[in-house]
Structure 1
Amino acid sequence: MSKPKIFITRKIPVPIIDQLEKSCEVSIWEHEDTPVPREILEEKITEIDGLFCLLTENINEELISKAKKLKVISNMAVGYNNIDINAATKKGIIVTNTPGVLTETTADLTFALLMATARRIPEASSYMREGKWKTWSPMQLTGQDIYNSTIGIIGLGRIGEALARRAKGFNMNILYRNRNRNLQAEGELGLQYVSLEDLLKKSDFVCIMTPYTPETYNMIRKEHFQLMKDTAILINTARGGIVNENDLYQALADGVIWAAGLDVFEQEPVPLDHPLLTLPNVVTLPHIGSASIGTRMKMAEVAAENLLRALTGDIPQNAVNKEWLND
């Protein structure tokens, strides 16, 4: 019996490739720094049984319609807004993700970004390297306090709850807004469930941790920034489209809020002429929330396991369209 064919859209750790090659015929887009060209993806989709992809690939209805024998799309990410779930489900294609394994790493990065933005660490490092440090001055590069401040977390999923645990270690007052209350987390961490309006008004740090969906697209806009303190800091490590970037730029430029720390943008890679990159009170990162060696290896392992399970006829635990496939 011939091996199932799979296509991997970016170079992944060698041990994972070796594992997949034991039971699959594997082809890979080897270029680490550039996404797979659309024409190659369109060609491959017609002949493969399994697709191992990243958030950088737009797996839309048009692409899925070209698939002839595709059984599984294994996304090496927690989010899957790059995939048309409805189109895949209609064709009986399993779509999987990698939740859980990157929770703590992303929470680490989120809190690190919060601290770097609040204390102006990138700005201070540049200040020193550019030879601007001439003397000590009482108000030179002063930032915002973190310990004993108030943090508002929008979206209390796994990563949001992990962020709350870190905030508790800094004796922060923790507010949260979520689709549903989490009474267990409230009891364990002392969280306060509040309205979005109250969260924005009271928080020193507003952290976006909610999933990206049609309902959350641009959910934070001009009117929300106007509710925030003028000393408040916005942190977004979820998805860029959740925040209206034009409104955020204006709020930062006009001093409506104090600063922002961003690991995500609506368009990625972000254009170098993006207005937010021109502001000194914005700390920007290239979507590295889960970028630790151990976590990326584990994500690849889980994505590979999801793919192999689906190819053998199982519905993996991490299938995001499991309930519809069972209908």
Structure 2
Amino acid sequence: MTKPKIIVTRRWPREVEARLADEFNVTLNETDRPLGQAELREALLQADAVLPTVTDRLGADLFEGGVRAKMLGNFGVGFNHIDIAAARSAGLVVTNTPAVLTGATADLAMTLLLMCARRAGEGERELRSGGWTGWRPTHLCGAQVTGKTIGIIGMGRIGQAMAQRCHFGFGMDVVFFDRYPVADPGVPARQMATVEEVLAAADFVSLHCPGGGENHNLINRQRLACMKPSAFLINTARGDVVDEDALVEALDEGLLAGAGLDVFKAEPAVSGALTGRDDVVLLPHLGSATTETRIAMGMRVVDNLHAFFDGHRPPDAVN
């Protein structure tokens, strides 16, 4: 039997690429350079399945006129970079990789929270630059984490994992907003009726909601104004969930104390209005970036490919 033709848009962990090469007719991206729109369109015309990542923008125009591909095996949980409706209309099944990156992303959100609270980025930059003059009682005093209140927006798998780290690890009270009732969030927690209520109650706000759609600029000027002046905003969800211009203005005006961001609207470009600030911790989209997690994500895509080409519904189909 002829092996399905697969095109992978970026380099994946070598263990996953080896399995793909063994089990499919695969074309790898040897340069690891992001594909342009014309190249993505060509991949859809040539392959039976295309395996994109968050760096690939697959809008409706790429599916116009029909394509050969019948499946998009997305490397990641979020899929707002894909026009799901257009893909469905063109006859493509889209899959993602849930569950396997929950712990790693929650760990990274906790890292950002602690870095913001304890001014870790500022401290490291000072020490490396030779500016540290020694211990003193008033030096780089940050915010206490233990016993504070964490507010979570989006109480899915990652939101619940973050809540568990905060509550059981740091004795934090948990409040959260989710569009749907959450019967068992895994920790003692209060579900609030609005995003605004969570922002007003929390000392730290961590975003774990999908990007795109009605969540575009979910955290805007009006909502930032609801936060405590001593509070911090953490975003490991999607860059478009936060209005970055409004965030900069809110920080300038002291509406919140700081922010920790792992995702950005125009990745990999990051506004100089953010990079020049000491009250913002910035990381280059590292949420799922552990070796174990990235391998597991790739293997999940492979499992979905096998299910699809064996004539079954892929377990992680999103459309």
Distance in 1 (CA, whole Å) between partners of 2:66 and 2:20 is 21
Partner of 1:315: 313
Tell me how far apart the structure 2 counterparts of residues 261 and 204 of structure 1 sit (CA, whole Å).
13
Cα distance in 1 for partners of 2:46, 2:26 equals 12
Counterpart-to-counterpart distance in 2, 1:200 and 1:262 = 17
Shift of 1:41: 2.2
Provide the C-alpha distance between the structure 2 equivalents of 1:10 and 1:314, rounded to a whole number of angstroms: 26
The alignment partner of 1:51 has SS state of: strand
Contact 2:148 2:203 in 1 (8 A): yes
CA distance in 2, matches of 1:52, 1:228: 40
Written as runs of structure 1 = structure 2, the 5 A alignment for 1:78-117 is 78-117=77-116
Match of 1:174 in 2: 174
Q: CA RMSD in A?
A: 1.4
Helix, strand or coil: the match of 2:26?
Answer: strand
* Stretch moving more, 10-19 or 254-263: 10-19
Q: How do 1:1-327 residues align onto structure 2 when only pairs under 5 Å count?
A: 1-32=1-32, 34-65=33-64, 67-168=66-167, 169-185=169-185, 188-194=186-192, 195-271=194-270, 273-321=271-319
Counterpart CA distance in 2 for 1:230 and 1:49 is 52
Secondary structure at 1:234's aligned position in 2? strand
Compute the displacement of 1:135 (Å): 2.9
Structure 2 segments unaligned to the other structure (5+ residues): none
Distance 2:21 2:61 in 1: 29
* TM-score between both structures, scaled by the size of structure 1: 0.93
Is 1:60–1:83's contact at 8 Å kept on the other side of the alignment?
A: yes
Is the Cα contact below 8 Å between 1:118 and 1:145 reproduced in 2? yes
CA distance in 1, matches of 2:272, 2:303: 38
2:202 and 2:152 map into 1 onto residues whose CA distance is 9
* Alignment-derived partner of residue 325 in structure 1: none
TM-score of the superposed pair, with normalisation by structure 2 = 0.96
**Quick one: which amino acid aligns to residue 15 of structure 1?**
E
How far apart, CA to CA, are the structure 2 residues paired with 1:297 and 1:310?
20
1:71–1:310 contact (8 Å) kept in structure 2: no
Q: In the alignment, is the contact (CA less than 8 A) between 1:45 and 1:67 conserved in 2? A: no
Q: Indicate if the aligned counterparts of 1:49 and 1:311 stay in contact, CA closer than 8 A.
A: no
Q: What CA deviation, in whole Å up to 9, does each residue of 1:166-213 have, x standing for no partner?
A: 01121101110111221222xx41101123222111211011111113
**SS state at 1:115 partner:** helix
Please give the alpha-carbon distance, in whole angstroms, between the structure 1 residues aligned to 2:126 and 2:65. 53
Asked whether the 8 Å contact 2:43–2:50 carries over to 1, the reply is no
3-state SS of 1:151 partner: strand
* Offset at residue 84 of structure 1 (A): 0.9
Q: Which runs of 4+ in 1 moved over 4 A?
A: none
SS of residue in 2 equivalent to 1:73: strand
| Cα offset, 1:66, TM superposition | 5.3
For structure 1, the 5+ residue unaligned runs are 322-327
1:319 is aligned with what amino acid?
A
SS in 2 for 1:283: strand
Output the amino acid matched with 1:151.
Answer: I
CA shift in 2, pair 1:43/1:66, >3 Å: farther
CA contact under 8 A between 1:55 and 1:77: conserved in structure 2? yes
Deviation at 1:104, TM superposition (A): 0.6
Give SS of 1:291's match.
Answer: coil
Deviations 1:87-112 (A, max 9, x none): 11112211000000000110001001
Amino acid at match of 1:218: N
Q: Distance in 1 between matches of 2:63 and 2:84?
A: 10
Q: What secondary structure sits across from 2:40 in the alignment?
A: helix
